[in-house]
């Protein structure tokens, strides 16, 4: 499913820039009338010409407030258009704007502002209670407060905007991505203009984005995937970005936006699959229900043959063409995924059956792999050569090799210049030859596709000496039932594996209304048993506990990017864990 030349008449001008500021200027000049930033149903919309004009005015005002090349500026906003022009204005000054997770407590916000030496913070009214009174902040800009600072009015007379952005250099720090960290304070990953330019060029070589691309901005902008997808890539490629302030509503945005590229974490696709399947089962028209089941079955049979490298029989191809015309194409349109050129999932293991399901309905979901330290770049399944169960081959412009213990090592132009104010941590992560030691354990198949086995420090080693991947076990259990929200598998140096489970806050209450609380617990048990059937005996969950709590991103149990805080969970739930081994 590669993009044909009809999608793009010429190479986007921004790809030839040496800095992101230059890329923005080239893209805005080449596409002045194309929509750049918008809200759903065009409640707000501006073109690239308007976007560039706002950036020019805001940059002048920020310069008047003291922002300059080499300084930094914090941003704590929901996904809204203002984020884009404040961040972009700052980088045009050669400054380093960075995002702060909206779920952070005051002390966490304070730590990052001090670590980055930020004197300006851009935020909104909803977060004022947490940011008022923070030390070191000289200018607090509240974008939705009409009585607050009028940034543009602070523009110094005779400010030379063009000279400012032209002074930015490829090795200037473009942004800081604070790794959410499962232990200890977050580390500020320094990404340069050249890091970002290299990553976007590589992604474009793999995916060949259309010139009129459309994306939805919905993940936190402090996450490298979102920052690249809906902020930086548009600057080089001219995309239209639709802001979705409430991430829980992202699926509802898809039919209106009809994105050409979409990225999400596994949980979104797991829940979308569960919702589609529940809709099929709830269908009152028996003929329609059977037709959908038939079409999905046909799609799955075709996908599994293709993934096994086997020829698809002519009769199945004909049956699939009919299923696609009658059912699957309509389902894709209803979902808003009928104009997808590429659709990716990452940040955690995705169960094979989830990816197979989307391929079965004609949505080429593909895993990719990258880190904050690699500008979110590393490997990616090409849209026309997807191997389910892998994160794809090595992407252009980087080298990847495996250490003796299987750890994935990567080097190239996308690798961070280091952690802010942490030279020891930088030397520990990046060796003298420039190899970044990722902490991920991987293996290559015969075709050169990488499979991530687990995190190096998160392997479960049973009392019997068996090495297991908790992430893979957890992914299987989560995928086994829509009522299951979060899962942590425990078993290191133990005789068997156990799990703590939380219920999905969206699905479980509705399920309980229909089947009662006992029905929910029975469904969890069914799901765990189903997952166990797909795992080796030593990997299976022997006992588990359903916790009467919801684990929120940024809370005690989850990082803002929804990774498990394993050590804090073990400490907080020590009694519950020990009871499972009693």
pLDDT tens across the length of the chain (582 residues): 333 334 666 889 999 999 999 999 999 999 999 999 999 999 999 999 999 999 999 999 999 999 999 999 999 999 999 999 999 999 999 999 999 988 888 988 999 999 999 999 999 999 999 999 899 999 999 999 988 889 999 999 999 999 999 999 999 999 999 986 555 578 999 999 999 999 999 999 998 888 789 999 999 999 899 999 999 999 999 999 999 999 889 999 999 999 999 998 887 898 899 889 988 988 889 999 999 999 999 999 999 999 999 999 999 999 999 999 999 999 999 999 999 999 999 877 788 899 999 999 999 999 999 999 999 999 999 999 999 999 999 999 999 999 998 999 999 999 999 999 999 989 999 999 999 999 899 999 999 999 998 777 777 877 666 667 788 889 889 989 999 999 999 998 788 999 999 999 988 998 999 999 999 999 999 999 999 988 878 889 999 999 998 898 888 898 877 788 888 999 999 999 999 998
User: How is residue 11 annotated by DSSP?
Assistant: -
| Domains of the chain listed by start with CATH number | 5-260 (3.40.50.12780), 266-338+340-457 (3.40.50.12780), 460-580 (3.30.300.30)
Tell me how far apart the alpha carbons of residues 193 and 211 are, in angstroms, rounded to a whole number: 22
Listed in sequence order, the residues at least 6 apart from 282 whose beta carbon sits closer than 8 Å to its beta carbon are: none
Listed in sequence order, the residues at least 6 apart from 365 whose beta carbon sits closer than 8 Å to its beta carbon are: 269, 343, 344, 345, 354, 355, 358, 359, 386
Half-sphere exposure of 440 (CA within 13 A, CB side): 26
Q: Which candidate, 78, 67, 92, places its Cα nearest to that of 174? A: 92
Listed in sequence order, the residues at least 6 apart from 390 whose beta carbon sits closer than 8 Å to its beta carbon are: 367, 381, 445, 449, 450, 451
Asked if residue 276 lies in contact with residue 269, where contact means CB atoms within 8 angstroms, the answer is no
Distances (CA, A) of 486 to 92, 313, 565: 41, 40, 12
Dihedral angle, C-alpha 51, 53, 59, 60, nearest 10 °:
-170
User: How is residue 402 annotated by DSSP?
Assistant: E
Q: Which candidate, 253, 217, 274, 174, places its Cα nearest to that of 82? A: 217
Instruction: Classify each residue of 256-290 as buried b or exposed e, where b means 16 or more C-beta atoms within 10 Å of its C-beta.
Output: ebbbbbbbbbbbbbbbbbbebeeebeeeeeeeeee
Tell me how far apart the alpha carbons of residues 304 and 320 are, in angstroms, rounded to a whole number: 13
Farthest CA pair distance, the chain = 74
Tell me how far apart the alpha carbons of residues 31 and 12 are, in angstroms, rounded to a whole number: 10
- Please give the span between the terminal C-alpha atoms of the chain, in angstroms, as a whole number: 53
Q: Which candidate, 478, 530, 526, 522, places its Cα nearest to that of 500? A: 478
Q: Is 82 helix (H, G, I), strand (E, B) or coil?
A: helix
Asked if residue 177 lies in contact with residue 222, where contact means CB atoms within 8 angstroms, the answer is yes
């Amino acid at each position: 499913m590669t993009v044909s030349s009809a999608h793009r008449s010429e190479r986007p001008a921004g790809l030839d820039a040496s800095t992101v500021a230059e890329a923005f200027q080239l893209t805005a000049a080449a596409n002045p009338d194309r929509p750049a930033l918008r809200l759903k149903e065009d409640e707000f919309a501006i073109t690239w010409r308007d976007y560039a004009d706002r950036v020019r005015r805001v940059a002048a005002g920020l310069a008047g407030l003291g922002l300059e090349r080499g300084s930094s500026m914090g941003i704590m906003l929901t996904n809204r258009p203002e984020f884009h022009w404040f961040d972009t204005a700052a980088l045009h000054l050669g400054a380093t704007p960075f995002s702060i997770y909206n779920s952070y407590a005051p002390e966490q916000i304070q730590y990052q502002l001090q670590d980055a030496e930020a004197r300006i913070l851009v935020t909104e009214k909803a977060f004022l209670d947490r940011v008022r009174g923070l030390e070191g902040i000289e200018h607090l800009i509240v974008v939705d407060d009409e009585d607050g600072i009028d940034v543009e009015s602070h523009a110094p007379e005779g400010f030379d905007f063009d000279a400012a952005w032209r002074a930015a250099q490829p090795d200037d720090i473009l942004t800081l991505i604070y790794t959410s960290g499962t232990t200890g304070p977050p580390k500020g990953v320094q990404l340069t203009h050249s890091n970002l330019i290299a990553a976007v060029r590589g992604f474009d070589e793999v995916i060949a984005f259309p010139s009129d691309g459309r994306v939805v901005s919905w993940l936190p902008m402090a996450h490298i995937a979102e920052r690249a997808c809906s902020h930086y890539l548009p600057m080089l490629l001219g995309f239209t970005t639709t802001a979705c302030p409430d991430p829980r509503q992202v699926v509802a945005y898809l039919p209106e936006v009809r994105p050409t590229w979409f990225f999400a974490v596994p949980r979104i696709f797991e829940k979308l699959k569960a919702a589609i399947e529940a809709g099929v089962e709830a269908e009152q028209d028996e003929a329609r229900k059977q037709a959908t089941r038939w079409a999905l079955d046909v799609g799955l049979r075709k996908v599994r043959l293709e993934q096994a490298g086997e020829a698809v029989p002519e009769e199945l191809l004909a049956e699939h063409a009919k299923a696609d015309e009658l059912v699957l194409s309509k389902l894709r349109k209803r979902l808003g995924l009928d104009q997808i050129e590429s659709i990716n999932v990452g940040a955690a293991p995705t169960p094979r059956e989830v990816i197979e399901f989307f391929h079965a309905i004609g949505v080429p979901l593909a895993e990719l792999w990258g880190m904050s330290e690699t500008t979110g770049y590393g490997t990616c399944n090409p849209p026309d050569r997807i191997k389910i169960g892998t994160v794809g081959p090595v992407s252009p412009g980087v080298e990847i090799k495996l250490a003796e213990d299987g750890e994935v090592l990567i080097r190239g132009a996308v690798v961070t210049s280091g952690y802010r104010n942490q030279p020891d941590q930088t030397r520990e992560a990046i060796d003298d030859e420039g190899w970044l030691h990722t902490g991920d354990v991987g293996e290559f198949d015969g075709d050169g596709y990488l499979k991530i086995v687990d995190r190096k420090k998160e392997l479960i080693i049973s009392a019997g000496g068996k090495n297991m991947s908790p992430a893979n076990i957890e992914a299987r259990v989560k995928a086994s039932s829509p009522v299951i929200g979060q899962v942590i598998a425990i078993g290191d140096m133990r005789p068997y594996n156990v799990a703590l489970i939380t219920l999905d806050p969206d699905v479980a209450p509705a399920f309980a209304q229909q089947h009662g609380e006992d029905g929910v617990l029975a469904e969890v048990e069914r799901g765990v048993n189903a997952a166990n059937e797909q795992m080796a005996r030593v990997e299976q969950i022997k006992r588990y506990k359903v916790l009467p709590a919801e684990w929120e991103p940024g809370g005690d149990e989850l990082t803002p990017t929804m990774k498990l805080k394993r050590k804090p969970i073990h400490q907080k739930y020590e009694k519950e864990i020990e009871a499972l081994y009693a």
